[in-house]
């Protein structure tokens, strides 16, 4: 298991809380007082610079990794042409390797703009999605969501039938715009064409939990588990069962997430949750 996998598994509980705390407008109740503010979004996006994100991200790295990034950045300053693109590619991959999605996404976006390459647009969108789902800064999160939307839109211009881009765009619309049903519609289009699509079903399941439709969430997570039985899918299924009052099923699903993850943080949480459900 590599460093990124360990980091993801260790944050299952935190990520669920963050995902479900996103302001998914319209799913639970109408909120007529909220509207999209173009000027505000533009200001947020303009503050999301490679320089500022890189400086923040480097604070989380050890001295050796931080120096590796600084060396690449220094070389990039004097580069042009193919050398410049090669260094940008290296920085994109380096930031991805050290689990800093926002910085990596910004470099993949630069590469996508240079090459207008579908795979780079989707990669940037996926990383912006990872970034906004993990971001705790309420000012930074909307800017990252807008970046995800724009990069997925660019990918769809090149490949209009891309299910990966449709899924990512749908999640972003639901997570951070006043038009969540536009996103739900995209996700439903994906599962209509590909009923076993794990990512679309997982996110539809999460949005079902957010809106209190726990029975629908159970079905979505079961579909995900048929295709990709990951620790987080079992954990979300357990949460849905718990909210339905099906304690036995919830305990079994929590235990399965613990078994697959083999992560001490998740194990401690599951053990306490199981004891609570057995009372």
Q: What is the tens place of the pLDDT at every residue in 134-184? A: 988 888 999 999 999 999 999 999 999 999 999 999 999 998 888 889 999
Could you please report the per-residue DSSP string of 6-24? HHHHHTHHHHHHHHHHS--
213: left (phi over 0), alpha (psi -120 to 50) or beta: beta
- 33 is a domain residue: no
Please indicate, yes or no, whether residues 91 and 141 belong to a single structural domain of this protein.
yes
Please indicate, yes or no, whether residues 157 and 116 belong to a single structural domain of this protein.
yes
Which CATH number does the domain housing residue 116 bear? 1.25.40.10
Please indicate, yes or no, whether residues 240 and 153 belong to a single structural domain of this protein.
no
- 107 is a domain residue: yes
Question: What CA dihedral angle connects 4, 49, 86 and 162, to 10 degrees?
Answer: 70
Please indicate, yes or no, whether residues 141 and 255 belong to a single structural domain of this protein.
no
Q: Using one digit for the tens of pLDDT, what is the confidence trace for 112-124?
A: 999 999 999 999 9
Domain region containing 130: 39-179
- 103 is a domain residue: yes
Buried b (16+ CB within 10 A) or exposed e, 215-245: ebbbebbebbbeeeebbbbbbbbbbbbbbee
Residue at a domain's end among 123, 154, 179: 179
Residue at a domain's end among 179, 207, 232: 179
The pTM of the whole model exceeds 0.85:
no
Count up the domains in the chain and report the number.
Answer: 2
- 189 is a domain residue: no
């Amino acid at each position: 298991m590599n460093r990124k996998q360990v980091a993801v598994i260790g944050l299952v509980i935190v990520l669920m809380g963050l995902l479900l705390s996103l302001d998914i407008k319209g799913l639970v109740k109408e909120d007529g007082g909220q509207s999209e503010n173009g000027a505000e979004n533009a200001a947020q996006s303009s503050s999301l610079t490679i320089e500022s994100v890189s400086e923040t991200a480097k604070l989380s790295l050890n001295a050796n990794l931080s120096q590796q990034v600084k060396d690449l950045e220094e070389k990039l300053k004097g580069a042009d042409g193919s050398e410049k693109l090669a260094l940008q590619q290296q920085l994109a991959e380096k930031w991805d390797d050290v689990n800093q999605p926002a910085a990596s996404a910004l470099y993949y976006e630069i590469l996508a703009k240079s090459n207008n390459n579908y795979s780079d647009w989707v990669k940037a969108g996926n990383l912006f999605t990872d970034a906004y789902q993990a971001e705790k800064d309420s000012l930074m999160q909307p800017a990252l969501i807008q970046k995800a939307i724009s990069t997925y839109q660019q990918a769809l211009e090149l490949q209009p039938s891309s299910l990966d881009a449709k899924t990512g765009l749908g999640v972003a619309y639901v997570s951070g715009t006043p038009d969540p049903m536009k996103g739900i519609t995209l996700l439903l289009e994906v599962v209509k064409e590909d009923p076993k699509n794990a990512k679309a079903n997982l996110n539809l399941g999460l949005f079902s939990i957010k809106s209190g439709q726990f029975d629908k969430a159970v079905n979505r997570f079961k579909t995900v588990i048929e295709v990709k039985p990951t620790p987080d899918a079992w954990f979300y299924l357990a949460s849905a069962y718990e909210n339905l009052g099906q304690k036995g099923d919830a305990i079994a699903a929590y235990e399965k997430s613990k078994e697959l993850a083999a992560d001490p943080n998740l194990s401690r949480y599951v053990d306490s949750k199981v004891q609570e459900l057995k009372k």
